Structures are given as structure tokens and as C-alpha cells.
Chain A
Amino acid sequence: MTLKLSELDRTLINRLQDDLPLVPHPFSALAGELGLSEEDVVGRIRRLRDDGLLTRFGPFFDAEALGGAFCLCAMAVPVERFEEVLTKVNAYPEVAHNYERSHRLNMWFVLATESQAAISATAAQIERDTGLKVLLFPKEREFFIGFRVNA
């Protein structure tokens, strides 16, 4: 669904992809720029969030810098076993995201654990649970991204 957004909403969505200053009144500069009160800016952002156009507002953490280990994993799940395997895999609290994708490797999930050793152990446990192979695709290098959504 594509929504009709006001120019102001578009500007807010675009500007909130920048970094707000770490000061007692973080919305003050933005409010000045838009010729609105701080209360109005905060209220509009709250509405965009409540409408689901913005996900959470706050600090974006680098999950790896917080400690812990992450790994993208993939499985080739036979179609007739998909729901059964999905229930088993999603039951692991270590499984953070899980997507079905159009490929022979049709289940892609991210494991998030306290340590690198726990990644291998969890993957091995999922293999025993499901009788299916878990392929591990750890990040070897992250390339810088300049991407912005233009609302």
C-alpha cells in the first residue's frame, strides 16, 4: 500500500534517517528548520510511528559492538516439511529473524548468541532436531552503505 504523505511527513521521514544531536532537546534544531514547535514535531513523529511508517525511534546499536555473535544461516527445507521445520527452528530464542525465500535454500535465518562457539552449537542442535543441513554464512566483511529511503 502506498500512502499519501504530506510534504512535512516526507521531510520528517527523510530527516530522521540522519543522526539527531545528543543534547537535552534533540528535536529543537529540526523544529526550527521546519518552522514548527518542538511539541508539534514530536507529535507528528509519534503519529508516523503509531501509523507504522517509522519503526522505533531511538539509538541504533551495532549488535556486534555490544558483544555476542551473529550468523546468517540457510536450510533447504522440503516443501511438505516446511511448517514442521519452521516450528522447530523458530522455537530457538537464538533465531532472531527468519525469512522464507524463493530458492532451493528456502529458509534464511539469523542466529544471535553470546559467543561464536554458541553459533556452531546451536546450528548443530538445529541439524539434529530437523535432520536437515544448516549452512552458515558468517559476515566476513561489511561494505559501507550510502542508501536512504526517499519518502
Chain B
Amino acid sequence: MTLDPKDRTIVEATQAGLPLVPTPFAVVAENLGLTEADLIGRLQRLKELGVIRRIGAAPNHYRLGMNANGMTVWDVDDAAVDDLGEKVGALPFVTHCYRRPRAMPDWPYNLFAMVHGETREEVMAKQAEIASLLADACRASDVLFSTRILKKTGMRLRGKEA
């Protein structure tokens, strides 16, 4: 990974968002003292490196009526978890899917799949779909609904002086 100081400046200048104008890159470039072509070229390179996943907007689940958010967790056979994780991630209603270590004896689950829905019942119906996909490879499972957002900050790259 090679982010030079100019790349870092670009990341810091755009992580809060781009201006909503017809030519957003020209505006940002001018603020940073770059040409529009130089800025676009550097953003293109960051995309090829995987630093930028995409340029767009994210919908607000809650405002679109998806008020239930369940973290479904599964104790899946280690030999099968990677194959099954791919299948769970591909389900149309799973928004994040990760393999994580267990923390015995407190926590036997190694597969985490986030599910959003309009109601808890809808999330639980989706949980049942995941359970039938995992079938015998799954020994135990649970769903943890979020009851309160306690803190939410963007994960920001901090300036060197911070």
C-alpha cells in the first residue's frame, strides 16, 4: 500500500463527502491546488488499489423503514465455515458477513451475519433461512438485536498532527 502525502490529503478532503454539484472533482481539486485531471487520476489509482470501493451514496436503512437490525451469530464447523460463509454472504438480505474467532467459554460463535428488516419478525424469518442453509454444520446460533446506538462516528483517517 503506497499512499503518498498527496493521496492522504485527498482522502482527508473527501472522506466526509464530495460537494453535490455537477463537477464535484473540479471543486475539490481547486481546494487542494490540484488539476481536475490529476485528482481524477489519483482517485482512479486508489480505486485500482482497493482503497476506494466505489463512488456513490449509501441509503439510510432506518429512514427507509428498516428499523430492525439483527446480528445473527453461528457456531459452524471449522471445516465448513468458509464455504458456508460465502453462501450466507450471497443471500440477498445479508449486509455484512464475517468469520471471527470464538471466545470460549463466553462465546461459541464463529460466523457473523448482519440482517436488516422492517420488523424483528422479518429478521427472525431471515435467520431461519440462514439456519436451513447451514443445516447440520451449525451447532448453535443466536440473534442480537441492537437496542440503542451508543456512538457512531465515521471511521476517519486522522491528520498526522491529530
Q: Which A residues are closer than 8 A to B by beta carbons? A: 1-3, 13, 16-20, 22-28, 38-39, 42, 45-46, 48-49, 51-63, 65-68, 70, 72, 74, 76, 86, 90, 95-103, 105, 107-110, 112, 135-149, 151
Contact = CB atoms under 8 A, between A and B. Distances in A.
Contacts of A151: 59, 64
Contacts of A28: 22
A96 B157 CA distance: 12
Given A90-B151, A135-B106, A141-B99, A56 B85 contact: no
A68 B3 CA distance: 13
B153 A96 contact: yes
Contacts of B106: 76, 105, 135
B98 A141 contact: yes
B126 to A, nearest CB: 11
Interface of B: 1, 3, 11, 14-18, 20-26, 36, 40, 43-44, 46-47, 49-61, 63-66, 71, 82, 85-86, 88-90, 92-101, 103, 106-107, 112, 116, 118, 142, 144-155, 157
A63 B116 CA distance: 22
A50 B14 CA distance: 18
B144 A101 contact: yes
B85 A143 contact: yes
Nearest to B149: A99
Nearest to B28: A58
Contacts of A97: 149, 151-153
B18 to A, nearest CB: 4
Contacts of B99: 139-141, 143
A58 B25 CA distance: 10
18 contacts: A20-B55, A20-B56, A22-B55, A24-B40, A57-B57, A59-B55, A61-B15, A62-B52, A95-B151, A96-B153, A99-B146, A100-B150, A102-B145, A107-B150, A136-B103, A140-B98, A141-B85, A147-B95
A137 B101 contact: yes
B17 A56 contact: yes
Given A22-B40, A22-B47, A105-B144, 9 more contacts: A24-B25, A54-B58, A54-B59, A57-B56, A63-B155, A96-B155, A101-B147, A102-B145, A143-B98
Report which residue of A20, A39, A99 has the largest number of chain B beta carbons within 10 angstroms of its beta carbon: A99
A65 to B, nearest CB: 4
Contacts of B53: 60-62
A18 B106 CA distance: 40
B66 A100 contact: no
B56 A102 contact: no
A54 B57 CA distance: 6
A16 B3 CA distance: 27
